Amino acid sequence: MTLVHNPILPGCYPDPTICRVGADHYLVTSTFEYFPGLPVFHSRDLAHWEQIGHALDRPGQLDMRGIASSGGLYAPTLRHHDGVFWLVCTLVDQQDSSRGGNFVITATDPAGPWSDPVWLDEDGIDPSLFFDDDGRVWLHGTRLAREPEWHDQTEVWLRELDPATMRLTGPEHVIWRGAVLGAVWAEGPHLYRVDGRYYLLAAEGGTDFHHAVSVARADTVTGPYVGSKGNPVLTHRHLGRDVDVVGVGHADLVQTADGAWWAVLLAMRPYGGYHYNLGRETFLVPVTWEDGWPVFAPGQGRVPAVVEVPDGLPEREAGTTWPPAGPVLPGDLRWTGLRGPADFAEPHGDGWLLRLRPENLTDAATPAFLGVRQQHQDVTVRATLRFDPAGPHEQAGLAVRQSEKDHVLLVVAGADEPGGRRVRAVHRRSGADSVLGERPLPRGTGPVTLAVRARGQEYGLLVATGDDPPELVAVVDGRTLDSVSAGGFLGLWIGVLATSNGVPTGSVATVDRLVYEPSV
């Protein structure tokens, strides 16, 4: 057997969905306002995952302009049928409820290219697909209950989909309203057929501390569905907030080629109190069947720190990191921007040429920002750049991003005197900026190394020039940056930013390289 340590995808990889084709497993997660969107991962053994592409990666597939932080792409479902991969998802604009909706894209190669979206005439969120043995295809999803018995009660609807026309057909069926009386947000539904019965898996309780996995079954796909007496069949909410893993839910089942069953699901790892800067991550849990019902994490009843999977590649040794430490080179699929293609960036050696844009991180736009997820509690991210700002309004450097209203900047900026440079640390919290520290820099375009050194919830911001040792500019309390404090659904991204703060410009910043180096 091969040992794998949870989470299998550390960092902000929420709402995992999985399917198997032969010996190959494919997995996709939510990405909200980040672009490219919907990363596609591949594994042969469920332990070692490689990103092979994004499902939404080109202009024209989807218009995400103006989508605010924690809006965008919610809760995809990935399925495979007759040689075609199907992916359904929701585009959410929290500022304009008339925009967005559910859509489907397809591909014959999960690495892409994927088709343009086809919009589906059904409301709600978290769509899923079920291909029945009789050839019929069923679309299902979640919406607020039409006749709610309590606040935030949701219902799971089901309707047949004609795969030839991508049109919904036939009557709608409401098949689930939650396993527990008074439970909110029964969402993330998935249907399966096992031993002649239909099983409905759904999240419940909201996507934070009270998250849970529930299951129901029926003799026909349209129901009636009867919940398991063991519901919720998996949750950590009874363990309290001081436990190592919280918010367990939004599961999807897969059966491996050897007949074993597994679930991928999301959860969070708090540290420094009830804060989870890495966001909602993807975990793996074994599943068995007893008396016609799935049993998650049998014998434990909670997400295990280590699971055994069928033999594959060698065990990831304790202390090793995923992804590997070192430079994050152009072409690395971990790079993402905001809401659209990074046409402001040009690969340059081990780094980038970034053309400054007037937009900055306070705008729900596409600023000149490229980042990677923070995937480790203790990590140093360093960027070496060369930049000669045209004035005090221009700046380029590192950003730790939660949202438009909450982020941290460590940048090389122009000074008031012509040709002057300074390094500046700024913390934007709840929409208000505070300057944490400034240091003068040598004039010209000499290289400057900026670093974010996270040690738990302490984020040190450092600068170095030439052969000088790094100098601490400021320290930020990371507990002010996670979604518990700032709101939303995201973990943190750390990356490079180049902005003229609203002023037209032709300036360019050269990022020689960015290094992501976990401390192990």
| Distance of alpha carbon 165 from alpha carbon 48, whole angstroms | 37
Measured between alpha carbons, how far is 80 from 221 in angstroms, rounded to an integer? 19
The residue written with tokens 């016609």 in the block is: 292
Backbone angles phi, psi at 486, to 5 degrees: -95, -15
**H or E stretch including 447?**
none
**E-strand stretches of 291-348:** 293-296, 306-309, 326-327, 337-338, 345-348
The two three-digit tokens of residue 318, written as one number: 């304790």
DSSP strand pairing (261-268 vs 50-56): unpaired
Catalytic (active site) residue 15: yes
Quote the CA–CA distance of 465 and 474 in Å, as a whole number: 17
450: three-class secondary structure by DSSP = strand
Q: Which of 187, 359, 394, 404 is catalytic?
A: 187
The H or E element spanning position 333 is none
- DSSP classification of residue 315: P
Cα-based distances in Å from 123 to 69, 90, 91, 442, 488 = 21, 9, 11, 57, 22
Whether 187 is a known active-site residue: answer yes
Q: Can you tell me whether residue 238 is helix, strand or coil?
A: helix
Task: At 474, give phi and psi (nearest 5°).
Answer: -165, 165
Q: Is residue 186 a contact partner of residue 178, using CB atoms and an 8 Å limit? A: yes
Torsions phi, psi for 284 (to 5 deg): -120, 135
Start-to-end CA distance of the chain, whole Å, equals: 25
Give residues with Cβ within 8 angstroms of 469, minimum separation 6. none
Which residues have CB under 8 Å from 134's CB, separation 6+?
Answer: none
Question: Could you write out the three-class secondary structure of 51-68?
Answer: EEEEEECCCCCCCCCCCC
CA distance 141 to 138: 10
**Cα radius of gyration (the chain):** 23
Owner of token pair 């049993």: 295
> DSSP letters of 167-191?
EEEEEEEEEES-SSTT----EEEEE
Q: Taking the CB of residue 15, how many other CB atoms lie within 10 A of it?
A: 29
Separation of alpha carbons 408 and 24, rounded Å: 40
The catalytic position among 15, 33, 281, 404 is: 15
User: Phi, psi at residue 151, to the nearest 5°?
Assistant: -65, 135
Known catalytic residues?
15, 187
